[in-house]
């Protein structure tokens, strides 16, 4: 059973703090993703990574950075938290798209609800 674990369910941080959201998957997946979910906007892709130390910007990368030093771990970093980053953050992982391999679905963590005050 695939497991994607996010380090916190709920987090409250102050404006200007540096915030780390951690995500670990146990299925040796190449792809890992960070999304944020906001009412009426659905899931918006912040960053994704298709290999260790590889990353690609999603649709809303501003104010965020990521780190993938090990295959199983993908960290989202808010360099200086702001109130407009209050949101539900979802991490996901999936198998990579190597030659001849079709797409496989993404597995999600339970989410981290971040409140920036």
Partner 1 sequence: DQQVKQNSPSLSVQEGRISILNCDYTNSMFDYFLWYKKYPAEGPTFLISISSIKDKNEDGRFTVFLNKSAKHLSLHIVPSQPGDSAVYFCAATKNTGGFKTIFGAGTRLFVKA
Minimum distance of partner 1 from residue 104's CB (angstroms): 8
* Residue 14 burial (10 A CB sphere; 0-12, 13-18, 19+): exposed
Considering the rule CB under 8 A, would residue 114 count as an interface residue with partner 1?
no
Beta-sheet strands, E only, within 1-117: 4-6, 10-13, 19-25, 31-38, 42-51, 54-57, 64-70, 73-78, 87-94, 107-108, 112-116
Residue 107 as a binder of partner 1 (CB under 8 A): the answer is yes
Q: Give the strand pairing for 107-108 and 87-94.
A: antiparallel
- Closer CB to partner 1, residue 17 or residue 46? 46
Closest CB to partner 1 among 23 and 116? 23
Sketch the per residue contact string, 30 through 69, with partner 1: x for CB under 8 A, - otherwise: xx-x-x----xxxxxx--xxxx--x-x-xx----------
Residue where the block lists tokens 């771990």: 73
- Check binding of 109 to partner 1 (CB under 8 A): yes
Identity of the residue, 10 or 14, whose beta carbon is nearer to partner 1 in the bound complex: 10
Q: Is 31 helix (H, G, I), strand (E, B) or coil?
A: strand
Residues that bind partner 1 (CB under 8 A): 4, 30-31, 33, 35, 40-45, 48-51, 54, 56, 58-59, 90, 92, 94, 96-97, 102-103, 105-111
């Amino acid at each position: 059973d695939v497991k994607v674990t996010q380090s916190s369910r709920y987090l409250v941080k102050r404006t200007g703090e540096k915030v780390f959201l951690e995500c670990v998957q146990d299925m040796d997946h190449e792809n890992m993703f960070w999304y944020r979910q906001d009412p009426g906007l659905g899931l918006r892709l912040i960053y994704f990574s298709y290999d260790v130390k590889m990353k690609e910007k999603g649709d809303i990368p501003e104010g965020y950075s990521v780190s993938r030093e090990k295959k199983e771990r993908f960290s989202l970093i808010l360099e200086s938290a702001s109130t407009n980053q209050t949101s539900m953050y979802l991490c996901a992982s999936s198998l990579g798209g190597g030659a001849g391999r079709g797409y496989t679905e993404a597995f999600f963590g339970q989410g981290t609800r971040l409140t920036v005050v």
